[in-house]
Amino acid sequence: MNDLVKVFALGGLDENGRDCYVVEVNNDIFVLDCGTSLPDKTIPGVDYMIPNPSYLIENKDRIKAYILTHGHDESMSGLKYFYDKAPAPIYCTKQTFGLFMGQANALSVKINPKVVIIEPSSSVQIAGREVRFFQTCHNTVYSCGVAINTTQGFVVYTSDFIIDFVGQNKGYYFDLKALEELSKEQILLLMSESKSATRSGYCSPKHRASKLIEKNFRDEDKRIFISCFWQNVFRIEEIMDLCRKYNKKLFCYNEYTRTVINVGNQVMPELTAGIEIVNKEDLLRVREKDLVILIVGLDEDLYEEIDLLADHKNEDKRINLNENDIFVNASLPRPTLETVCTRCMDKVYRTGCEVQWLKKDQLTSMHAREDDLKFFLSVLKPKYYLPVRGNFINMMANAKLALSMNIGLNHSNVFIMDNGMELVFDGVTRPRLIPNEANHINIEPILIDGTGLSHVGSVVVDDRHELSQDGVVVIAACVSIKEKKIIAGPDCQMRGFVFVKEAEPLLKSLSNIFVDEINTEFQMEEFNLENLYQRVTERSKRFVKRENGREPYIMPIVDILD
C-alpha cells in the first residue's frame, strides 16, 4: 500500500526567509526548517516575522521531527518562539544546534528542547522511517540537505547550497558520494532552493573573498577594519585564516561582535585558534599595523554601526576611523538594503580612509545558481520538482531551468506553489494541488518584537503607522467618582503633530471635549472607562480632522482616585 504524502509550506514561498516546509507521510509530520524573515518599512517596530505555528500546535501529537538544515535565521530562528507549545525532537548537526541555542540565549528566549545530534552525512530512523542527511556547502558550517523515504520514493529537500568540491575546510565539504548513493534510489520529489536561480553559471569560486582582500593583510601597514554579516560564518573563517597567516591581532568592534565570536568558538573551537584576541583594555597598546578590527552585525544593524563609526559617533571613542586606516566592506547587502549600504559607505569615504568595497560582480552570495541547480537535477533525476526558498521570479526561473534539461520534467510534474497550498501524492492518481481554503492552514506571519516574548498583532502595527504619520495627542486627567468631579487636569500633550506653541486654541478645544465627556460619564449609572475613551477618541478625531486635516493617534488617560 502506498504512503499518502502531502507537502506544503508555512513560509518561504514567494519571499526571502521564514522558510518552513511540512512533509506529511500518512499520519506523521516532518517539519523541514523553521526560520524568520525581516520586516520591511511597512511594518514599524517589528524585529522578526515567523511562520504561523497554528497548524503545528493543533497537530503537535503528529510531529515526529523538526529538521534544521543549517544555522541561519531564515532556517532555524522561528522555532524557538513556539517550541514549547508544539514540542518534538530537533534533528540537526552539533554546530547548527550550538548556533540555535546561542541565538536563543542572546535574545533571552528560554527553551529546553530535546535534540538528536546527527552527522551532516548520515542515515537515521525517525518514526520507523529512513531519513538520510547529505552534507552540502553553504556559508555557514556543516549545512546539509535531507531525504525522507516513502513507499513512493524519497522526498528530497536541498536547503541552501552551492556546488564546491574544493572546500575551505571539512565544515564546507560538499558530499558528492552521499548524493551519488541517494541517486540510486527513486526520487519522488526534489525541493530545491531558488534564491539565485536567475544567475548563470556556478557560484564557485566567486564566493571566496580571500584572494580579493589578502593584499590588505600582506602589503599594507595600516590598521584594517572589516565588516561582514554574522550569518556568513564562511566569510568570518576566511578573515580568521588571513589573521593567522599574516600574524594579525583581532579586536572585536562591539559587544555583538564579541558575542558572535564567542558562540563561534563554542561551536567551532578552531575558529580563532592561534590568533591573539585583543581585550578592550589593551586596544591602545597594539601597533595599528598589527590590528584587524572586525565589525559583525545583522542586516541594517550592521550598516548603522558603520554609519556611527564614520560619523565619529560610535560608543568607543578610542576607535576613530581616519586616513591611516583601511576599511573593507565584505557585507553584500540584500536588495532592500542597497540604499542603506550606499549611504553609510559614502560616509566611510568621507573619513579619508582607504576603502575596499566588495561588489556583487566580484563576490557572490553562496546560493545555487543555474549550473548548481542543473547539477543536482541531473544527478537525482526526480519524478517531480518543486522550487522553494525565494521570490516568485526566482522560483519561476528555477522551474523553467528544470523544464529545459530533458530529464523527463515538464509542465505536469514541475510545480510552483504559494504558502499553504498542498501538493498531494497518493501513488494512484496524478499529484493534486489543493488551494489553501480560508482558515484551513493559517499562513499569516506572526510578528515578533523586543525579545520575542510577546507577539505583535495587526492592530498594534496599524497604531504604529498612525503614530508615524500624524503623531499622537495625549489627554490626561485625575477624577473622583464619589465626588463626581475632576481632581486634577486636564493636561493635553502633543508629539509629532503640530508645534505646541502654535496650537494653544487646539489644545484648549481638545481639553474641553475631554472635560465634557468626563462630565457626561459622571451622569451614567456606572462610570465606564472604555465607553469614555471611545467617545473622547471619536470626537477628538473628528474635531482635529475638521480643523487641520490631520488624523493623530488620540490617547485619553483617566486616573481614578476612589
Domain final residue pick, 357, 383, 417: 357
Residue 466 lies in a domain: no
Q: What percent of the chain has pLDDT over 70?
A: 93
Same domain, residue pair 351 and 226: yes
For residues 381 and 345, the answer to whether their CB atoms sit within 8 Å is no
What whole-number distance in Å separates Cα of residue 453 and Cα of residue 104? 11
Residue 207 lies in a domain: no
Residue 208 lies in a domain: no
Same domain, residue pair 284 and 172: no
pLDDT for position 91: 98
Residue 209 lies in a domain: no
Q: Which domain holds residue 251?
A: 214-357
For residue 226, which of 347, 331, 374, 141 has the smallest C-alpha distance? Answer: 331
Q: What percent of the chain has pLDDT over 90?
A: 59
Same domain, residue pair 99 and 185: yes
Q: In what order do the strands lie in the sheet with 153-157?
A: 122-126, 129-136, 143-150, 153-157, 187-193, 384-388
For residues 472 and 555, the answer to whether their CB atoms sit within 8 Å is yes
Same domain, residue pair 44 and 103: yes
Residue the block writes with cell 585564516: 241
Residues 293-352: tens digit of each pLDDT: 999 998 888 999 999 999 988 888 889 898 999 999 998 887 778 888 999 999 999 999
For residues 560 and 538, the answer to whether their CB atoms sit within 8 Å is no
pLDDT for position 45: 62
Output Rg (C-alpha) for the chain, integer angstroms. 28
Bridge partners of residue 434, in order along the sequence: 422
Same domain, residue pair 193 and 283: no
Task: Check whether the bond before 53 is cis (ω within 30° of 0).
Answer: no
Q: Is the pLDDT of residue 496 over 70?
A: no
Residue 461 lies in a domain: no
Same domain, residue pair 295 and 440: no
Q: Is the pLDDT of residue 182 over 80?
A: yes
pLDDT for position 463: 55
What whole-number distance in Å separates Cα of residue 227 and Cα of residue 256? 13
Residue type for position 294: L
Residue 396 lies in a domain: yes
Strand duo 454-456 + 446-449: pairing: antiparallel
pLDDT band of 544, cuts 50, 70, 90: confident
Determine the distance from the C-alpha atom of residue 336 to the mean position of all C-alpha atoms in its chain, rounded to a whole number.
Answer: 13
**DSSP structure string for 72-95:** -HHHHTTGGGTGGGS---EEE-HH
For residue 299, which of 222, 227, 362, 388 has the smallest C-alpha distance? Answer: 227
Residue 251 lies in a domain: yes
Residues 183-217: tens digit of each pLDDT: 999 999 999 999 999 999 999 888 999 999 999 99
pLDDT band of 12, cuts 50, 70, 90: very high
The 8 Å CB, 24+ separation contacts for 100-103 are 100/68, 100/71, 100/76, 102/259, 102/263, 102/266, 102/267, 103/73, 103/76, 103/77, 103/263
Average pLDDT over residues 472-494: 84
Grid cell of 8 as nine digits: 506544503
Average pLDDT over residues 463-479: 71
- Dihedral angle of Cα 359, 362, 365, 369, to the nearest 10 degrees: 130
Same domain, residue pair 182 and 306: no
Residue 464 lies in a domain: no
pLDDT for position 453: 41
Q: What is the pTM of this model?
A: 0.81
pLDDT band of 275, cuts 50, 70, 90: very high
Residues 213-261: tens digit of each pLDDT: 999 999 878 999 999 998 899 999 999 999 999 999 999 999 999 999 9
pLDDT for position 167: 61
Same domain, residue pair 325 and 425: no
Grid cell of 228 as nine digits: 561582514
What whole-number distance in Å separates Cα of residue 230 and Cα of residue 363? 17
Q: What is the domain-level CATH number for residue 327?
A: 3.40.50.10710
Q: What is the domain-level CATH number for residue 69?
A: 3.60.15.10
Residue the block writes with cell 480632522: 545
Same domain, residue pair 509 and 525: yes
Same domain, residue pair 175 and 92: yes
What whole-number distance in Å separates Cα of residue 135 and Cα of residue 142? 7
Domain final residue pick, 340, 357, 374: 357
Residue the block writes with cell 568607543: 316
Q: What is the domain-level CATH number for residue 484?
A: 3.10.20.580
pLDDT for position 165: 78
Same domain, residue pair 164 and 62: yes
Domain final residue pick, 357, 385, 420: 357
Same domain, residue pair 386 and 433: yes
Q: Is the pLDDT of residue 292 over 90?
A: yes
Total domains present in the chain: 3
